Structure 1
Amino acid sequence: MATHHDHVKQQFGEQANAYLTSKVHAQGPDLQYLSNLLANYPDAQLLDMGCGAGHVSFIAAQHVKHVIAYDLSDEMLSVVSQTAKERGLNNLTTVQGYAEQQPFADSQFDIVASRYSAHHWHDVGKSLRELHRITKPNGKLIIMDVVSPGHPVLDIWLQTIEALRDTSHVRDYTPGEWLTFLTEAGFTVNNIARHRLTLSFDTWVKRMRTPTRLVEAIRAYQVTAASDTQNYFELQPDGSFTTDMMVIETSKIV
C-alpha cells in the first residue's frame, strides 16, 4: 500500500518542470515580500522547506549567504540544482528528506521559509516542531500558503476540490489553525499578510495531471455550489476561481 509520502513523491516528481514554469509558483506578492525581507540578512543561512521547483530558493540565493533547498522529491531537487547552476547561484545546495524528520543540526538556520508546501505535510505539528529545533534563537520562520476561509461551508468546499485534484493534499489550514500550530511549536507571530490568489482551472488540473473523471467531479461540485460559495471564491464559468493566500512571519521564542 502506498503511503502519504509516496503519493507526494509521485504527484510532484513527475511534474517538476511544470512547477518550474508555473506562473502561480514563479511570481506573486508573497515572493516580493520575501525578497524585501531577505535583503536585510546578507549573512543568513536559509532553509527552503518543501522547496518544490525552487522559486523561494532562487530569490533567497540572491540575498543571503547560503541556501539549502529541501524537498521529498528527488526530481524536484534535480530541477532546482540544474536551474541554480544555469543561473549562476553557487550558494545553493539541495537535500532530500521528510518534513517530519529533518537531517539538520539544532539551531542551524537563521531563516526557514516554506511556500505552498505545508498543506501537503503529513503531520504539520511535528514538522513545525522540527523547524523550531533547527532554527536559531531569534531566527525567523516564514510560512506562505493557501489558507481556508474558516467558515465550515466554505472550508469543506475548498478541501473537497483540493482533494479531488490532488491525492497528496492534506489540508488548507485556517488562519486560526496556523496561529495555534505556530505558537504551540514555540514561535511568536510577528506579521501576517493576506492576499487573494486566482487559479486558472485548466492549468490548475493539468499541472497535477488530475484524471478526467475527477476533473468532471470537480466541475460538477463547482456548478452545484451555493451562490455565496461561488461568490466568495469568485467562481468563473470555466472553473477558474480565487482563494486566500497568507504570509506568516514568525520568530523563534528564546
Structure 2
Amino acid sequence: MSMSSHNDIVNSQFGPQAHAYLASAVHASGEDLDRMASLAGRWPDAVALDMGCGGGHATFRLAPLVGKVVACDLSEPMLRVVAEEAGRRGFGNVVTRCSAVESLPCPSGSFDVAVTRYSAHHWRDVPAGLAQMHRVLKPGGMAIFMDVVAPGVPLLDTWLQSLELLRDPSHVRNASPDEWRAALSTAGFAVGEATTYRLRLDFASWVERMQTPASHIAAIRSLQRRAGSEVTDYFAIEEDGSFTVDTILITGKA
C-alpha cells in the first residue's frame, strides 16, 4: 500500500506533465481568463499571487497588467517551466515560489490581488487554503477564483467526481457554486460577482495530459456508455467521450 501523502500524489501527477499543461489549449484561453484580466487590470501597480499556477497561464495574463506576479505551485517542474516561459516572453516581473496553499510562505498583507485557476479541486484542505489566501491579501485586496464546478444535483455531482477521480488520483472535489460562496464567506471574504461558463473537454487530450492508465480510460468510457439521459444530456457526452462541464469565476474582497 502506498505511503505517499496527497501532496506527493499531486506532485507525481503534475510534475512530469508540466510542458503538457503549458501547451494545453484548454488552460491557455477562456472567457474566465479574459474576465480575470479585465478585473486585475484595474490594479496596474499590484503585487499579485497566482496560487496553484500550473502551466502559468493566469500568470502570463497578469504579468503585463500588474507590477509583480508571484507564481506559486507545489510542483518544482511546473515552476521551472513557468520561469522559463516567463523569461521567453520577456516578463521580468514574474517570480516563482514552491509551496502548498495551506502553508503559504508569505507575510500577511503581501498582495493586492490573488488568483487561482483550475487548482482548488486538488487542494487537500480547501478551507485552510482559502484562509491563507485571505491572510496574504491586503485589506480591501481582491481574490479571483476560477475552477470547474459541480452541479448542485447529487446525481450529476457523483458522476462528475467519479470521472475526475478515475482520470486523476490527485482530484479531491469540484465544489458547487453555493459551496464556493459559503467557503469564501467562512474564510472572511466578502463574496462578489460569480459568473459560470461551459467548457468542452476533448476526451483524448483530457486523459493524455494526465497519462491516465488504459484501465481507467476504459472505466470512464464504460461509465459514460451506461449513463442515464440526465447525465448524458447535462454533460453533453459525445461518441468519443468528450464532454462539457461547468466552470465558475467568483470574486472575493479581503
TM-score of the alignment, normalized to the shorter chain, above 0.5: yes
2:109 corresponds to which residue? Answer: 107
**2:180 is the counterpart of 1:178:** yes
2:100 corresponds to which residue? Answer: 98
Give distance in 2, aligned partners of 1:16 and 1:243.
Answer: 23
- Contact 2:49–2:114 at 8 Å: present in 1 too? yes
Give distance in 1, aligned partners of 2:133 and 2:33.
Answer: 20
Q: What amino acid sits opposite 1:67 in the alignment? A: V
Give distance in 2, aligned partners of 1:57 and 1:39.
Answer: 13
**2:21 is the counterpart of 1:19:** yes
Percent pairwise identity: 48
5+ unaligned residues in a row in structure 1: which ranges?
none
State the TM-score, normalizing by the size of structure 1.
0.98
The CA deviation at 1:132 is: 0.8
Give distance in 2, aligned partners of 1:240 and 1:46.
Answer: 34
After the TM superposition, which residues 87-166 of structure 1 pair with which residues of structure 2 at under 5 Å, given as runs? 87-166=89-168
- Contact 2:190–2:253 at 8 Å: present in 1 too? yes
SS at match of 2:128: helix
1:40 corresponds to which residue? Answer: 42
Give distance in 2, aligned partners of 1:214 and 1:126.
Answer: 31
The CA deviation at 1:193 is: 0.8
State the TM-score, normalizing by the size of structure 2.
0.98
Give distance in 1, aligned partners of 2:136 and 2:101.
Answer: 12
The CA deviation at 1:108 is: 0.6
Give distance in 2, aligned partners of 1:226 and 1:188.
Answer: 39
SS at match of 1:110: strand
Provide Cα deviations, 1:53-112, integer angstroms capped at 9, x if missing partner: 100001100100000000000000000000000000000000001111110001110000
- Contact 2:40–2:113 at 8 Å: present in 1 too? no
2:220 corresponds to which residue? Answer: 218
How many aligned residue pairs are there? Answer: 252
Give distance in 2, aligned partners of 1:84 and 1:218.
Answer: 36
2:73 corresponds to which residue? Answer: 71
The CA deviation at 1:35 is: 1.3
- Contact 2:54–2:78 at 8 Å: present in 1 too? yes
The CA deviation at 1:40 is: 1.4
The CA deviation at 1:172 is: 0.4
Q: What amino acid sits opposite 2:100 in the alignment? A: Y
RMSD across aligned positions (CA): 0.5
5+ unaligned residues in a row in structure 2: which ranges?
none
Q: What amino acid sits opposite 2:187 in the alignment? A: A
Give distance in 1, aligned partners of 2:61 and 2:43.
Answer: 13
